[in-house]
Structure 1
């Protein structure tokens, strides 16, 4: 059962990619438990035909997995040093690329051993930090890390912030079911989000809102950090949001209204991500900026409270539930339409919520926003989540502002939201592997991109 806090607005993390770094860390934590914390050797196998051989180093899979094997948290400040820390802990690591034709492009095959025992684990990263452990010691399982599980004589502890509630009865699982459940009452989307998460996680109204307010505060602090300036050696883009802020203050930009503040905050959050600062995958690290930047920028312009921002984020979270349930947030599966497109749809619904729009307005805005981003490819230059990811986050946020206003003005989305999600999934099935976060197509293969990739590789060897 999809959770707003486990799977859509979260995790709170460091690193370039949630489907790489945060998910790998969660897999590593569970693997550590499987070994009772005593690990001496780890064999990691990645399918040659998947996404990980090209991206596991540059997008943080190694960093996250090693941090998880050490028992660290996804927001641990030491994460960038996890490879060195694992070596210092006496753990020998071998990574192999093998011809397996795994069904999922983000498949981790682990063989862990010490002097007395050996265990195996097969797990996949399904997008936005979500995982599924599929096999332990040859036994088929289906574990998402949301519950305490005993297997192979060991206890695997939960790695998600909201625990699974096996007895939960969800009020709805799709947008169509939500609209039928609402029955024309036009109860605000954020209120239905609270009802959903209460049932999913056995929480109270106050606990749901408080959790999202805490996330809003983390995001506002990250935006301020980004505007003030960030640095990190292994990245392509330097500090640019400060220049944008300076031009805004001097009136040297086109008068784009609230969109200028949105672009500023989007850039700031993307720079924090690229500097290994604390971000929130909303719904992913690669698309972490569009939703919070647009919500916080518009809310500040409207002089809204942090509670108002949290309600808007909850509305966005429920739209994300309707995407993650039948489809994915993973660009390795769906291209950037799964990340940036999802972020745009979620943001549009959130902005309608800030404006006190109706449930129909919010879901219509989400539909229009996702409609206009079908087919968006994922082609990270030098396998870094920076170019064209920054521009695509700005695109998603700008799209959301426009679609929110169109919905509020009564524009007809025509295609119900669930049908748009289904269409995106079918588009993804026809999208070549090279355009799904492998850095093997699109802008990633331009002469300039190849030169930048070589320069970064040479810098890393110095």
Structure 2
């Protein structure tokens, strides 16, 4: 059975601080997993970015260092101390060095970590960020590997072949894969359940095994519990919806139930927790935020002020603008937010859905169901291009968010599954080819405007769909077009800071000013 992306693992989440999910959240997960692989307290670390990759140009500005350092230092991704990991590392006496170098890669967001433990044990890990906080560790000490943080795992290495002995530990629950090389054999056990202390003790007491590392999952949902789903493609989803009369939110809940193996009640509770954090983020933003190292301070309040003065027309659009701005300002202020589907596009869905729900006096249950509708659109997006702007531009960040918002809002308006799917199709059609060109490598300009556009795009296309407008192109073909268009886009407009608005004279001046400001602050410290 093909493993499918989950709504909670790949679309709505992670809960985190930091400007970028692909930079901050994924790097944190990579670092946490690498620390488990080391298996002892960290002494020092060398972090290398591929010279030809997308991270080489902006790993500091977009928070990659915060994520890596937070993970290596054992800090939670939403921990307040992640705002100043450099100071915390100094306090713990841990050296973390960064270099831009050349090494074999096959992905735009590749990082190589070399870790030394306090006993001088050494491990080297090569990993990639896939967008939206998803990641894969693809090499451990030059052995091919695939670790994505969704399993309980034990990694072993032996100079001699212990395969027959280790095979005895396999079961329906515990899977084993291995790889042989001249200098030894690498073993990987994986399970959807925690390994018993007896199995761990048995492996660690095996004198023929040189290394035994217990790796904990870092994703919210554990893999390996997926059950058969009554639909697979968007076409079969549409047919199933027509046969059953289920709306897209109900289908999204069913999808996540099949992917996770969990019951409805637990999944709804999980979504309720995420919704609370999203709404808290809006409320924090609406109270006003300040963070020194950013381009834009708060602006959401300008909407209400202009309304009071009669300068702008009072409408739901104003509420969308204010809510989206509040979430984006909370994000850039290093507050705790939910990446939905990414941190760079975190404002669109939450801001627009809240505005519409408030306007319609939607029930709590209706809003939760609308988020499952949004999540299902994101799950199909994750099966296609995914959410990496470094691979596909902003069409997979605010473009995907617009489609998710459209589906959710159409459902809140009383639309059926087809209305939600058509709304998502039209919203994404409006964003195909959207580039990613962050000014000064900060996820603020033009990201704020693109999030606001995505929220309003979601609202207008939901309105069109429920009113009966024809989407013309089915959603699955629209998502496929996103993947095809990205192949024609140059890398300079894929989150490198080397194209578009990022090359304007004003953008260069802003980047210089922020760099000088940060340099002066470090000197004063």
Report if TM-score (shorter chain) is over 0.5: yes
Instruction: State the 4+ residue runs in structure 1 displaced beyond 6 angstroms.
Output: none
Contact 2:241 2:247 in 1 (8 A): no
From 136, 140, 155, the counterpart of 1:136: 140
Mapped pair 1:87 → 2:90: yes
Contact 1:294 1:401 in 2 (8 A): yes
Residue in structure 2 matched with residue 409 of structure 1 by the alignment: 467
How many Å separate the matches in 1 of 2:43 and 2:64? Answer: 20
From 72, 82, 86, the counterpart of 1:69: 72
Deviation at 1:101, TM superposition (A): 5.7
Residue in structure 2 matched with residue 159 of structure 1 by the alignment: 218
Residues 150 and 354 of structure 1, relative CA distance in 2, 3 Å threshold: same
- Consecutive unaligned residues of structure 1, counting only runs of 5 or more, are none
How many Å separate the matches in 2 of 1:182 and 1:365? Answer: 16
Deviation at 1:166, TM superposition (A): 4.3
Deviation at 1:167, TM superposition (A): 4.8
Residues 386-397 of structure 1 mapped to structure 2, 5 A cutoff: 386-397=444-455
Mapped pair 1:122 → 2:130: no
From 305, 327, 333, the counterpart of 2:391: 333
Residue in structure 2 matched with residue 50 of structure 1 by the alignment: 53
How many Å separate the matches in 2 of 1:194 and 1:45? Answer: 40
Give TM-score scaled by structure 1 length. 0.97
Please state whether the residue corresponding to 1:40 is helix, strand or coil.
strand
How many Å separate the matches in 1 of 2:505 and 2:37? Answer: 45
How many Å separate the matches in 2 of 1:348 and 1:333? Answer: 24
How many Å separate the matches in 2 of 1:81 and 1:31? Answer: 21
Residue in structure 1 matched with residue 206 of structure 2 by the alignment: none
Mapped pair 1:421 → 2:479: yes
Please state whether the residue corresponding to 1:172 is helix, strand or coil.
coil
From 374, 388, 396, the counterpart of 1:316: 374
Deviations 1:380-438 (A, max 9, x none): 00000000000000111111111101110111111111111111011111111110000
How many Å separate the matches in 1 of 2:377 and 2:269? Answer: 20
Deviations 1:306-346 (A, max 9, x none): 22211111100000000011211111111000101000000
How many Å separate the matches in 2 of 1:9 and 1:53? Answer: 27
How many Å separate the matches in 1 of 2:6 and 2:292? Answer: 35
How many Å separate the matches in 1 of 2:455 and 2:242? Answer: 30
Mapped pair 1:438 → 2:490: no
How many Å separate the matches in 2 of 1:10 and 1:146? Answer: 14
Residue in structure 2 matched with residue 357 of structure 1 by the alignment: 415
Deviation at 1:258, TM superposition (A): 1.1
Mapped pair 1:172 → 2:249: no
Deviations 1:11-63 (A, max 9, x none): 11111000100111111110111112411121111111111111110111000
Deviation at 1:245, TM superposition (A): 2.7
Deviation at 1:183, TM superposition (A): 4.6
Residue in structure 2 matched with residue 254 of structure 1 by the alignment: 313
Residues 255-404 of structure 1 mapped to structure 2, 5 A cutoff: 255=314, 257-404=315-462
Contact 1:315 1:349 in 2 (8 A): yes
Mapped pair 1:148 → 2:127: no
What RMSD, in angstroms, separates the aligned Cα atoms of the two structures?
1.4
Mapped pair 1:243 → 2:247: no
- Consecutive unaligned residues of structure 2, counting only runs of 5 or more, are 157-211, 521-525
Give TM-score scaled by structure 2 length. 0.86
Range that drifts further, 313-322 or 133-142: 133-142
Q: How many residues in Structure 1 have an aligned counterpart in Structure 2?
A: 461
How many Å separate the matches in 2 of 1:326 and 1:147? Answer: 23
Range that drifts further, 319-328 or 168-177: 168-177
